[in-house]
Amino acid sequence: MEPNINNKDHEEREDEEEDQYGVLLYYKYTQIPDLDELFTFYHSNCNSLSLLGRVRISPLGVNVTVGGKLSALKKHIAAVESNSLFQGTDFKLAACGRPLNDKVAEECGFTSLSIRIVKELVTLSSNPLLKSPEFSDAGKHLSADEFHSMLQRAGQLDKESTERDRKLVLLDARNLYETRIGKFHTPDVETLDPGIRQYSDLPSWIDDNSDQLQGKNVLMYCTGGIRCEMASAYIRSKGAGYENVFQLFGGIQRYLEQFPHGGFFRGKNFVFDHRISVGSSDANILGTCLLCGVSFDDYSSRLRCCYCRMLVLVCESCQQRKGSVYVCELCKNHHKGVELVSSSENGRLSSIPQQIERETVSSDAKPSPQLPWRQAVGCPPRKLRILCLHGFRQNASSFKGRTASLAKKLKNIAELVFVDAPHELPFIYQPSTVTESHQNCTSPPSSLLQQSPPPPPSEHCRKKFAWFVAPDFRGKSESESDNLDREWKMGDGPFDPLQYQQQTAGFEESLAYIKTVYAQEGPFDGLLGFSQGAAMAAALVCAQQTRRRLLQTGEMEFGFVILCSGFGLMKLMEVEEEKIQMLKCPSLHIFGSDHGKDRQIANQASRKLASLFDDGCSVTIEHDSGHIIPTRPPYIDQVKDFLGRFL
């Protein structure tokens, strides 16, 4: 009997398909009882099947992206499905070519097998101290058909539709560079694009724009669904008015499989493997070249912003320009490259930024101006940059001296940048019972003389500054400055330990001043404030979280704050006559204990300030010293431990 030629051809095609290369993506949120056992399974199974890629295992589930032969990937799926923990897992398997080149393969993690046990599958917040929401509280899953139907009905609504139907918004949970090449678009449905650099920035955006979500039906989407799990749970954790959150199950990838012509999705779906992006049969290009603005959506060149390392779109023609350095739109919004306006073309810097002339002083050698803020792969790890705010009647130089020991012990992990406060204070001397030269301009004694000696010469003293001043404070005008610089004012009595309570004015000027510092010297990873500087730092964090109509989104961001011997100005901690909610900025509070020796800021004042910060993301160090920042063990070890979480 002659063999069936059709069956033979079919078998040959099947063999060819099984030998074809493919990519497998899946995640599963579930309680993992034995992490080591699951690690051993993945190590054995993936190596035996010659799979390459990334496997992340956490106590709450797994997140897997691997590549290999389709036949091997199918065997892997069968082995995973045999474990009851993975019941109902959505396995996304796609046939594709191998990586374009070694660079793409390396960046996407497809040159080796990486299996790691991690704390979180995806990092919802850059705050390492903030607890993630419960994944069981995630938004309701919608299939691609259900998601499409909801958008279709919303797009067909007219003005007579019910209020409930009109309260529908789309929320894109992806990063800026992803949304630039593809996103959902539905007529008459608002799409919220946070424009974030990384997923961990999303909670801050949600906090700042919660009024756009409250009381609405929120439809969320991302690449494959995993980011929506945590982000939707975070929105729902905000309480009343945030219950109706839905997410596209399987993400954009499953939607495009169901609607190959694109449906309501326009452009391409960015993916985190060597395929780089996948699209529908719709040939429309949403992205544009960073430099010339021509339509372009291909990230295969893997070009990045010289400051933040975010992917940027640069067309083939513009890539031919030698010596090009690229600045993404987010960094340009943060005034990166502004000093090169005359020699720049769109987003491309024609030369390396020059060092900005500055009045700040650093705790260590200044970084080379030729290095970007976040250094490229292969460069030595960058240090945390911390903006330091001095106390009342101090200056940058004196505060640098007082923190020399701290700077020395942190020199491997942090660069301290010091600035003078904007309010210049007059020289003050107090009567003394003994003759003193006062040439070092230290704090004068508090006792009085019936007949006072003349004040010390001002040429031996540096100017002193403040962040907050008394409401009746009169600053020097430019015309008065030269004459008044050399004038002294005799104190009207001993040092008043409660004087800080009367220093309640000057915040707006100080805020504007720090905005300028941030634009010229930033960005900074965090803030350190001492005494009155700590009060100013706390007010900045409050403004950053509530915006207080004083800050534009993204204008000035600090990832953490260190408050030393601090106190709070309650009038600055209120918004529209309502006290703020807990400040969620990661914070370290250092102050004297009840039995400490700090005679200037009482323990209760510093403790009250610390109470404004969320317990879930704050650390407190109480010491037995005076009005200082202690640097001996165990205090310095606790400081290093706090900072180490942000490296």
Residues serving a catalytic function are 222
Q: Which residues contact 402 (CB under 8 A, 6 or more apart)?
A: 394, 530, 628, 629
325-326 and 265-270 beta bridge pairing? unpaired
Q: Within 13 A of 15's CA, how many CA atoms are on the CB side? A: 6
Q: Which residues contact 262 (CB under 8 A, 6 or more apart)?
A: 256, 279, 280, 281, 282
Of the candidates 356, 380, 183, 371, the one whose C-alpha atom is nearest the C-alpha of residue 285 is 183
Q: Are the C-beta atoms of 249 and 225 separated by less than 8 Å?
A: yes
User: What would you measure as the largest C-alpha separation in the chain, in angstroms?
Assistant: 129
Per DSSP, the three-state class of 485 is: coil
Q: Residue 268 forms beta bridges with which residues?
A: 279
In angstroms, the CA 545 to CA 523 distance is 17
Q: Are the C-beta atoms of 67 and 51 separated by less than 8 Å?
A: yes
User: Residue 593 has what DSSP assignment?
Assistant: -
CA distances from 142 to 70, 146, 218, 240, 248 (A): 28, 6, 12, 22, 5
Identity of the amino acid at 263: G
In angstroms, the CA 444 to CA 438 distance is 8
In angstroms, the CA 290 to CA 543 distance is 32
In angstroms, the CA 200 to CA 130 distance is 11
Q: Are the C-beta atoms of 89 and 80 separated by less than 8 Å?
A: yes
In angstroms, the CA 251 to CA 424 distance is 56
- DSSP letter string, 427-481: EEE---SS----TT--PPPS---SSPPPPPPGGGS--EEESSB-TT--PPPHHHH
User: Residue 199 has what DSSP assignment?
Assistant: G
Per DSSP, the three-state class of 97 is: coil
- DSSP letter string, 348-395: EESSPPPPPP---EESSPPPPTTS-SSPPTTSPPPPEEEEEE--TTB-
User: Residue 138 has what DSSP assignment?
Assistant: P
Identity of the amino acid at 330: L
Other beta carbons within 10 Å of 420: 24
